[in-house]
Structure 1
Amino acid sequence: MTSPIWHPFTQHGLGEPIPNVVRAQGAVLHLEDGRTLIDGISSWWVTTHGHCHPRIAAAIATQAQALDQLIFAGYTHDPAEEVARSLVELTPRAEGRDALSRVFFSDSGSTAVEVALKMALGYWHNRALDGLSAPRHRILVLEHGYHGDTIGAMSIGERGVYNAAWAPLLFDVGTIPFPHPGREGETLAALEAACTAPEKPAALIVEPLVLGAGGMLIYAPAVLRDMAAICARHDVLFIADEVMTGWGRTGTLFACEQAGVVPDIMAVAKGITGGALPLAATLATSRIFDAHYSTDRARLFYHSSSYTANAIACAAAAANLAIWREEDVLGRIAALSHGMAQRLSALAGRPAFENPRQLGAIAAIDLVTADAGYLSDLAPRLRAFFLDRGILLRPLGNTIYLMPPYCLDSDQLDLVFAALAQAGDAFAIPA
């Protein structure tokens, strides 16, 4: 019987195999037909400590017997309170900058970003109502960025084939060029010009240090720091989308830490529960919250979803946060990053590959081919190639990237990089 499921980012007309995964443990997925796969991309960047982590699974089971779901408009529960306090304690700090002190829960990275945009625009709307500022509506974005697939998140992402069908729904933004090595000054000059334009922008949103779906493009902490400083100097809100970069992926708990940056608003999701359940949060400084604080009910923050701060998801997040507090997670990430760096260096010496890059536990390399880019026909062929070799990887066109769970061991890492080397032999067209 044909499955009725319509899968995300899947062209069913290609007839690609869709394996049935029946269980998972650590970095390994077990298929219905008895095969196993090493999860090289943390099941779309969410699984941090490994699949079915016992501490997180136990917390889910316990919470499911106490409180499963609660309307969060005007009510609260202990798991959400615990997660919110922990997030406030763990997020970046810097002298002279207001801390992120308020936490708004949602259920995915896209919605966390939507919330961030609505917070920023609501801030300027309410300040205008109070006569403290002129209205501001314009959002600045970084070239090649990706922030999700809801309408607001698509609007602030790179325009292309993946959102062309909905172009009439997308709002206009100001785009700052990506800070390619040696051209960082162009980025900073463009941001300075945009912040001093007659139409004063409301906010700049960036993926700090690494652009994920845009091709795993990496830029320096100094550039992130300078962008944040320009925004602060011109009173433009700085939004950090840490949905992918957070939870240790870049080698620190949050990427902003490497630049000493405290954003005005920060979106987190994916690894917040260790990858076990969907949950997200948008954190804001007190001034963002205070602009919405009033005795006037018309000025409350109008956003919610039915499953805001789901109690079971929050219990999973609380268990994940306890792991971060009590275990040497950063040590595991450092060891994994070192192993990836050694193997990536060896791979980079092959003529089949170019542009090796790594930050923390994220590594990427481009396969040399005449058919490059996001829609390269290589992508589905590479996915099938890796599947046949027991590896779950999902290349971005001719860009092969790794973002594994932190429990991946040396032998598994050898298998993954061996498959990459074989892919180079099989598919590359050296210049």
Structure 2
Amino acid sequence: MSTSALWHPFTQHGLESRMLPIARAEGAWLESPDGQRIFDGISSWWVITHGHRHPKIVRAIQVQADKLDQVIFAGFTHEPAESVARDLVTIVPRGLTHVFFSDSGSTSVEVALKMALGYWKNTGKPRTRILALEHAYHGDTIGTMSAGARGVFNASYEPLLFEVGRIPLPDHHHAQPTFDALEIACRKGDVAAFICEPLILGAGGMLIYDSAALREMHRICKAHDVLFIADEVMTGFGRTGTVFACEQASISPDILCLAKGLTGGSIPLAVTLCTDAIFDAHVSQDRARTFFHSSSYTANPIACAAAAANFEIWKTEPVLERILALEQAQAFCLNDLRTDPRFSNVRQIGTITAFELNGIQPGYLAVVALTLRARLLGRGVLLRPLGSTIYVMPPYCATKAELQDVYNAVREAVDEVMA
């Protein structure tokens, strides 16, 4: 039994009693107090983009902490938040003109759901139903768990969750069932919003679908006046090869959720962007139409300074070129796995790769995930398989040589586990 008072996330302490201390990080690498170096193959839960401790972001945090650490954001504003908002509305899909700050991916989606429901209530139209893709994962608050697929992540909390309409995940070869189900659901006239993770479902198993399907789902929603919410918490800021996944379908959602990469992964911050129509529906002389959401640390100045520095990096450094180089390196490393009978459904989108380990129990609770994770850590590689699904999502600074070592470690670890 551990003597630590800490309760760690997504951790079964009955099976994992020892947590590995980390003392420092740089680039794509973590380092323990005794000097063990570990390649961060999942960008520390998908948040690190440019690499750990990018000097421009570190410096911005230091400078801001010495000027203004925190101020209530109701009735006040500050330049770091104004700067981030200005930059955001210039790079996100067209039509997203208002920025609401929060502090995590879950809360950014929770805010989006509340915005959608508030819009319909304030415009006097009785629309309250939410639609979402099957296998979705949108977070761990009550609203986001409701929007996510029912299963092991939220089974204990079922009494708290509200009903959500499920739309089949688009299939690469036959997406018509998705479109038919969405069309039928939207025709009923009670749907407030449809929410999806554009192009790839993350915690649901790194499930990829194409831009044509995303574009058609958006078209159907627009045809029936259903608000379209894009959860780009994971995909935003370059993961799929473009700054935002929605770009690949040439769509503009009504509401966009961003978090993880917003500060380059350095410090928690999230935003929910929306259109003029949604904002205007909440503007009134009637205080009852106020958008009632906040966190104590909304638009924290230090976090906003980190995000502003992240935007400066995107403006002044060849980030997209690094992303392309990482895509190519990932594709090169993935080639050897395509003919390996131990792996199936080998796939890639942008900087993300994923594949299934054959011959074992499918699903998130597959015991092999813990064993494989431990064997990989012993080889200096951090990966967290989603059950039988192994994925690699490194920071953009990762080199081809580093990735080759990662995939070699995967093959060696699988050899041991399968033996």
TM-score category of the 2 structures, normalised to the smaller one: over 0.9
Q: Is the 8 A contact 1:352 1:428 kept in 2?
A: no
3-state DSSP class of the match of 1:79? helix
SS of the equivalent of 1:205 reads: strand
SS at match of 1:69: coil
Question: What is the TM-score normalised by the length of structure 1?
Answer: 0.96
* 1:424 Cα offset (Å): 3.3
Is residue 9 of structure 1 aligned with residue 10 of structure 2? yes
Residue 153 of structure 1 corresponds to: 144
Using the alignment, how far apart are the partners of 1:423 and 1:221 within structure 2?
34
Which residue of the partner structure matches residue 45 of structure 1?
46
Runs of 4+ in structure 1 off by over 4 angstroms are: none
Partner amino acid, structure 2, of 1:24 = A
Q: Does 1:176 align with 2:176?
A: no
Decide which of 178, 181, 188 is 1:187's aligned counterpart. Answer: 178
Q: Label 1:390 to 1:16 Cα distance change in 2 as closer, same or farther (>3 A).
A: farther
1:199-214 correspondence runs (5 A):
199-214=189-204
SS of equivalent residue, structure 1 residue 75? coil
Gaps of 5+ in 2: none
Q: Percent identity?
A: 61
Check conservation: 1:145, 1:158, Cα contact below 8 A: yes
Question: Aligned-pair RMSD on alpha carbons?
Answer: 1.0
Partner of 1:24: 25
Contact 2:133 2:169 in 1 (8 A): yes
Paired residues of 2:179 and 2:217 also in contact (CA < 8 A)? yes
* CA drift at 1:428: 4.4
Worse-superposed segment, 29-38 or 246-255? 29-38
1:234 aligned onto 2:235: no
What is the rounded CA distance, in whole Å, between the counterparts of 2:293 and 2:135 in structure 1?
A: 28
Mapped to 2, the partners of 1:427 and 1:341 lie a distance apart of 25
Instruction: Work out whether residues 42 and 394 of structure 2, in 8 Å CA contact, stay in contact via their aligned partners in 1.
Output: yes
Deviations 1:376-408 (A, max 9, x none): 011100110110000000000010001100001
> How far does residue 37 in structure 1 lie from its aligned partner after superposition?
0.1
- The count of corresponding residues between Structure 1 and Structure 2 is 418
Matches within 5 A, 1:316-335: 316-335=306-325
Whole-angstrom CA distance in 1 between matches of 2:34 and 2:401: 23
SS in 2 for 1:38: strand
* Alignment match, 1:83: 84
Displacement, 1:16? 4.5
1:280 to 270, 273, 277: 270
Shift of 1:328: 1.3
Q: In the TM superposition, what is the alpha-carbon distance from 1:116 to its structure 2 partner?
A: 0.2
| Cα separation, 2, equivalents of 1:307 and 1:354 | 44
In 2, distance between residues paired with 1:196 and 1:15? 48
> Structure 1 residue 114 and structure 2 residue 105: aligned?
no
Are 1:36 and 2:26 counterparts? no
Corresponding residue of 1:417: 407
Over residues 54-93 of structure 1, what are the superposed CA-to-partner deviations in whole Å (9 max), with x where a residue is unaligned?
A: 0000000000000000100010000000000100001013
Q: Please say if residues 369 and 398 of structure 1, whose CA atoms lie closer than 8 Å, have aligned partners that are also in contact.
A: no
Q: Distance in 2 between matches of 1:112 and 1:265?
A: 10
Alpha-carbon separation, structure 1, partners of 2:362 and 2:196: 25
Q: Which runs of 5+ in 1 are unaligned?
A: 94-98, 129-133
- How far apart are the structure 1 equivalents of 2:175 and 2:414? 31
Q: What are the equivalent positions in structure 2 for 1:244-255 lying under 5 Å apart?
A: 244-255=234-245
Aligned to 1:131: none
CA contact (8 A) 2:360 2:388 kept: no
Check whether the contact 2:87–2:311 (CA below 8 A) recurs between aligned residues.
yes
In the alignment, is residue 394 of structure 1 matched against residue 384 of structure 2? yes
1:348 aligns with 338
Q: 1-side partners of 2:379 and 2:22: how far apart?
A: 16
- 1:370 Cα shift? 2.9
